[in-house]
Amino acid sequence: PPLPEIKDPAIRARVFIHKSIIKDKLFLSKREQLHSHNERLEFLGDSVLNNMMTQIAYHRFPDAAEGVLSVLRTKLISNATLMRWSSAYGLDKELKKNTPDETLNNGKMKLYADVFEAYIGGLMTENPANYTVVYDWLKQLAEPILKKNEPKKEQRSEFRPNAKMELYSLIGSASLGLHYDCIHRDTRSVPTTFIVELRTGAGDLLGTGQGENIKIAGTKAAMEALDNKELIEKYSILRANTPRDASKIPSHEMNKNGIS
């Protein structure tokens, strides 16, 4: 979709000024420095983006559970997604910074994601009535991601607190090496949310879950795996063909891998 325009030249210019440009301008007062770079705009844009993407996902999937919506929102506001959008509109090329590209490395993704948030902040600073314009724009940007990650019907089922042990009873074995790993912690949401992946020892992804703590997120990952009938059948057959002495997992290993 077309990029909404910031008509105020001063606000638009500030969107693309990184703090590194201002830090050596000692002739400016602290207040002048504060209003010369884009960090305040980024702060506002981050909040607006998080709120709008929450609403977009919420209304797009009226029957999806909270955990599923949280996973979708994380995809929509991730640095990788925002950097891609920033590059698509050429915002990254307009950013003025006093940091050599070769020193950025891993920080480059966040830098260009931040300028996308600053642009949203600029739109809202120029005119709070731009809310509808920004919402409709973000909704169009989000749609391909939402469509690609549309929740399965099974993902809307009720919470099953014993899902981990239920899954283990069906497919668990020492040779399979099931383990739960926390891959993301979203401190911007209230309460803080966690994303946990369930993988085999060979690295195959069996399920992903999100919750307000690691235990709930891991349980939801197990629930997703349980709802995948083809996966359960595949690993049940593997377990049936595994010698009994190679299939039993010691209790301390189950605790270590988050199974129990």
Residue 179: closest CA among 217, 218, 212: 218
Q: Is 224 one of the catalytic residues?
A: no
Among residues 42, 46, 186, 224, which one is catalytic?
46
Residue 45: closest CA among 138, 108, 144: 138
Among residues 117, 186, 197, 224, which one is catalytic?
117
Q: Locate tokens 């997120």: which residue?
A: 217
| Positive/negative CA dihedral, 242, 246, 248, 253 | negative
Residue 64: closest CA among 136, 163, 156: 156
Q: Is 227 one of the catalytic residues?
A: no
Q: Is the peptide bond before 191 cis (omega within 30 degrees of 0)?
A: yes
Pairwise CA distance, residues 78 & 81, whole Å: 5
Catalytically annotated residues: 46, 117
